[in-house]
Structure 1
Amino acid sequence: MKAVVFHSLGKISVDEVQTPLSLDDSIIVKVKAAAICATDLRIFKGERSAKENVIMGHEFSGEVVNVGSNVKDFMVGDRVAVYPILADGKCDFCLKGFRNRCVNRKTLGIDVNGGFSEFFQPTPEMVKLGHIMKLPENVSFEEAALLEPISTVVNSLERLNVGLGDNILVIGAGPMGLLHVMLAKYMGVSNIIVSDYVEERLNVARELGANYTINPGQEDFILKVKELSKVFGGINKAILTVGVADVVGQLLDIIQPQGMISLFAGGGKTFISNIDLNKIHYKELVLTASQNATPEQFKKAIQLIASKRFNVGKLITHKFPLEDALNAFNLRSELKALKVLLLP
């Protein structure tokens, strides 16, 4: 079968690899749609590594085409999505429901084979732990390829306790920033401000529910936020969906007392250096973060898409056959592309 394989730092290719063979305690999934995410892009650019010769991809969906003799919960033809974390199910975090924090966790497409391939075979442990989840009939394979990023946004907003009456600021209008807009709107926030340098993305943010947008390349970010704050009473929650270091210090000045700032995106070891801790202390601010999602949040993402309350397909801007994966990666590098799908 064809697969996108990581070989070494900055070197990936579309190769012919061994098609999975039937296992008694597992299944085989024919991959129908897979999405390229920011982590995949960093691996492609040589900014991040993965296990040598691993098949990339952790955002994907497909159809069951083979069921092992000991597997009772699936049948050929089942439409499924994959929660992309391997967990032991036994550590303290797993027992508390936080498999995304498992002390022995591994991630598909980075540590073990993922879904940028024609077929995918989960480990027996993944099947046993319920990490392969069936899809409702009204959720398409392409929509389901976005379940992993949606679930991480569910985690992000739940950690911030976002809801009615909140005024939130989203830094970055890439796919993850736009998903924050969609879900925050769904959760009933009062006002959403989105900041980004790409006007086309800000246009999409407004279409998806942002009340106000800011382009720091065309107007003073701080002054604009303060001006808007006079209209609705100020920002009480802010989410960084891009790793822009100097924004953190700016947020300490503009966010309301007892506000919350979440680092959704990583930003390197020096991300919050030179921060005035007194501003956090005297304003009683909460600085938090989120990464990945729990299986329960992944299930919530399925329910959200099935509800048809918002159109996640709006974020899918390009589709490529699997053999054109390198062209898809190059396009994803351009700021005008949002979610780019591979269709094996």
Structure 2
Amino acid sequence: MEAGQMKAAVFKGPGKMELESRPIPVCPDPGVLIRVRFCGICGSDVRNFANGLKGGVTNQIMGHEAVGEIAEVRGSIPFSVGDRVALAPDVHCGKCWYCKRGLVNLCENHRMLGTHFPGGFAQYMALSQEQIEHGFLEKIPDALSYEEAALSETAAAVVACQNRLGITVGDTVVVIGDGPVGCLHVQLAKSRGAAQVILVGMDRLALAERFHPDLLLCNRDPEAVVEAVLRATGGRGADAVIAAVPAASVQQQGLRMLRRRGTLVIYGGVPQQAALSEMDSNQIHYNELTVTGAFSYPADGLQNALAALCSGKIEAGRFISAVVPLDAILEGFDMARRGSSLKVLVDLWR
């Protein structure tokens, strides 16, 4: 690699990604330059790689679950060279109705690293003061490795969801989805004291079993799954159902697993062409059910996730199934797409 150059995986269009040698970005003034150590492959990365980035963006460096070290600092930025840091992708405007009320995850002018700005599938990233102040950059606690901290962005949304839901001691929680997000929900709900955590999945049940849900159900027969959940709860149903699958079909199924005044959380976004979901409104009305969405995390979301990882409430090492070099990033995407792994990390320097 020539001096002043870095390796990067560049998205060229649906199903196309190329390794390129690119100039190391100039550190903004004020801002920071980050030497990226690892970047996780998210389920949304897999979908965006297959279907395209929002707004038809191409020739962009994807990746938004990055960790690394500060390589350069300019201006009055509260970081020093050598600081180990974790990033999250969201950048809010700070000016809209939602931002002014602290609801930064609902920003009307929401932008993302890896879509609107270059992301973490490159050896270096540059962040301006605006991206730092209106985004997420946190120091990694000494107790966490880079690899463990790479789970913090995924965990941030899970922690925010359960905080808002108020999962607590004695609750019965059903999680639909056996990918990394579903398994994170299982582990976190158990650490919060839920009395019964039921995981419903399909293709990664063997991997999900390591997180010890109280009941593990295969969703190939949805009707049988609903009956099994009702049996396990004495016919009453669960306090909460978290639909962590990008499929509208599980949402009505989730309603049928709830107790009266229970809550269904639609956690996973679905493809635009399949976004409509049929739900029994009488069931919602007569049972006083709550249906809500969960998207991203508040301003302290990444900090809360790092704390959960540091405390052991979330055991990051149990989620990391594979680490691939940047040269093999397409192999890593294929592993994530096939469901043969939970979390796949890209090592930018191997």
SS in 2 for 1:92: coil
The corresponding residue for 1:44 is: 49
Residue type at the aligned position of 1:173? D
Residue type at the aligned position of 2:248? A
Structure 1, 323-332 or 201-210: larger mean CA deviation: 201-210
The corresponding residue for 2:318 is: 314
Residue type at the aligned position of 2:284? I
**Does residue 71 of the first structure (1) align with residue 76 of the second (2)?**
yes
**Does residue 278 of the first structure (1) align with residue 282 of the second (2)?**
yes
Cα distance change, pair 274–136 in 1 and its aligned pair in 2 (3 A): closer
Distance 2:341 2:207 in 1: 12
Contact 1:169–1:192, Cα closer than 8 Å, also in 2: yes
Cα distance change, pair 173–124 in 1 and its aligned pair in 2 (3 A): same
Residue type at the aligned position of 2:300? E
SS in 1 for 2:38: strand
**Does residue 183 of the first structure (1) align with residue 225 of the second (2)?**
no
Distance 1:274 1:16 in 2: 48
Distance 2:131 2:159 in 1: 22
Contact 2:184–2:314, Cα closer than 8 Å, also in 1: no
TM-score, with structure 1 as normaliser:
0.93
Contact 1:89–1:99, Cα closer than 8 Å, also in 2: yes
**Does residue 35 of the first structure (1) align with residue 40 of the second (2)?**
yes
Residue type at the aligned position of 1:339? K
Structure 1, 149-158 or 249-258: larger mean CA deviation: 249-258
SS in 2 for 1:164: coil
Contact 2:320–2:345, Cα closer than 8 Å, also in 1: yes
**Does residue 258 of the first structure (1) align with residue 264 of the second (2)?**
no
Residue type at the aligned position of 1:65? A
Paired-residue identity, %: 32
Count of aligned residue pairs for this structure pair: 340
Distance 2:243 2:313 in 1: 25
Alignment RMSD: 1.9
The corresponding residue for 1:163 is: 168
Match of 2:227 among 223, 226, 244: 223
Cα displacement (A) at 1:218: 6.9
TM-score, with structure 2 as normaliser:
0.92
Distance 2:237 2:282 in 1: 20
**Does residue 86 of the first structure (1) align with residue 91 of the second (2)?**
yes
Contact 2:70–2:82, Cα closer than 8 Å, also in 1: yes
The corresponding residue for 2:3 is: none
**Does residue 246 of the first structure (1) align with residue 249 of the second (2)?**
yes
**Does residue 125 of the first structure (1) align with residue 130 of the second (2)?**
yes
Contact 1:83–1:295, Cα closer than 8 Å, also in 2: no
Cα displacement (A) at 1:318: 0.6
**Does residue 212 of the first structure (1) align with residue 198 of the second (2)?**
no
SS in 2 for 1:63: strand
Cα displacement (A) at 1:131: 2.5
Cα displacement (A) at 1:38: 0.7
The corresponding residue for 2:65 is: 59
Mapping of 1:286-297 within 5 angstroms? 286-297=290-301
Structure 1, 254-263 or 203-212: larger mean CA deviation: 203-212
Cα displacement (A) at 1:15: 1.4
Distance 1:295 1:4 in 2: 29
Cα displacement (A) at 1:257: 0.7
Deviations 1:117-163 (A, max 9, x none): 00011122023346221111111111111111100001211222211
Structure 1, 210-219 or 286-295: larger mean CA deviation: 210-219
Distance 1:272 1:236 in 2: 25
Distance 2:119 2:14 in 1: 17
Mapping of 1:187-198 within 5 angstroms? 187-198=192-203
Distance 2:53 2:115 in 1: 10
Distance 1:30 1:186 in 2: 34
Distance 2:259 2:247 in 1: 20
Contact 1:55–1:115, Cα closer than 8 Å, also in 2: yes
Structure 1, 2-11 or 311-320: larger mean CA deviation: 2-11
Residue type at the aligned position of 2:105? N
Distance 2:263 2:279 in 1: 15
Structure 1, 150-159 or 264-273: larger mean CA deviation: 264-273
**Does residue 298 of the first structure (1) align with residue 272 of the second (2)?**
no
Cα displacement (A) at 1:222: 2.2
The corresponding residue for 1:173 is: 178
Structure 1, 121-130 or 188-197: larger mean CA deviation: 121-130
The corresponding residue for 2:17 is: 12
Contact 2:88–2:302, Cα closer than 8 Å, also in 1: yes
